[in-house]
């Protein structure tokens, strides 16, 4: 169990790093684009495309990040209004939501894996930057799907009283 916890902690740190640096990178690149376009009057054509690619990559990373933090898998208003003060019902609700989410993600796994495999075999290049291979975005999408499956499975396991007690103790 300590080995799994260490792996999950490493994944968490990598996700945090990618999200934070991606957000900062997008902010700085957008600033550079605006300064170049409106103050210097010199536009770097590929910089705009690169900023968009970085935004898509960061958004995909954020999906896994928010799944880990239990931000995508539930509608909190429903549980707050109807299940406040009912811990067993709330746990059952979260268990059902996580189970349905896990089933849905697993259903998407096969088609996304085929799509990612095809993207690795046949590269696709950008429009404004013809030398820039954009297939990595599809591969990133697959990796984030796998991370979402992992995080949802861990959240589902966390709803089981036997494991939830251990998690609260830690």
The per-residue pLDDT for range 56-98, each reduced to its tens digit, is 888 888 888 888 877 765 567 777 777 778 888 888 888 888 8
Task: Report the pLDDT value the prediction gives residue 162, as an integer from 0 to 100.
Answer: 61
Predicted TM-score (pTM) of the model is 0.73
Where helices occur in 69-160 by DSSP H, the ranges are 76-82, 87-121, 135-158
HSE value, Cβ hemisphere, 13 Å, CA-based, for 5: 5
Q: How far apart are CA 18 and CA 35, in angstroms?
A: 25
Task: Report the pLDDT value the prediction gives residue 94, as an integer from 0 to 100.
Answer: 82
Residue for token pair 């239990």:
70
Residue for token pair 């509608």:
75
Question: 3-state class of 111 per DSSP?
Answer: helix
Above 80 in pLDDT, residue 130?
no
Above 90 in pLDDT, residue 54?
no
152 neighbors 102 (Cβ within 8 angstroms): yes
């Amino acid at each position: 169990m300590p080995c799994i916890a260490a792996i999950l902690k490493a994944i968490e740190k990598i996700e945090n790093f990618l999200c934070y640096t991606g957000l900062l990178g997008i902010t700085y690149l957008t600033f550079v684009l605006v300064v170049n376009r409106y103050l210097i009057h010199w536009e770097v054509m590929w910089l705009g495309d690169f900023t968009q690619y970085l935004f898509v990559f960061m958004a995909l990373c954020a999906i896994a990040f928010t799944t880990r933090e239990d931000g995508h898998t539930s509608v909190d208003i429903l549980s707050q209004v109807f299940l406040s003060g009912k811990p067993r019902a709330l746990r059952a609700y979260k268990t059902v939501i996580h189970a349905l989410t896990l089933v849905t993600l697993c259903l998407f796994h096969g088609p996304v894996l085929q799509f990612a495999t095809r993207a690795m075999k046949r590269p696709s290049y950008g429009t404004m930057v013809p030398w820039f291979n954009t297939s990595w975005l599809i591969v990133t999408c697959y990796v984030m799907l796998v991370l979402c499956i992992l995080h949802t499975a861990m959240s589902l396991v966390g709803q089981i009283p036997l494991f939830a007690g251990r998690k609260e103790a830690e």
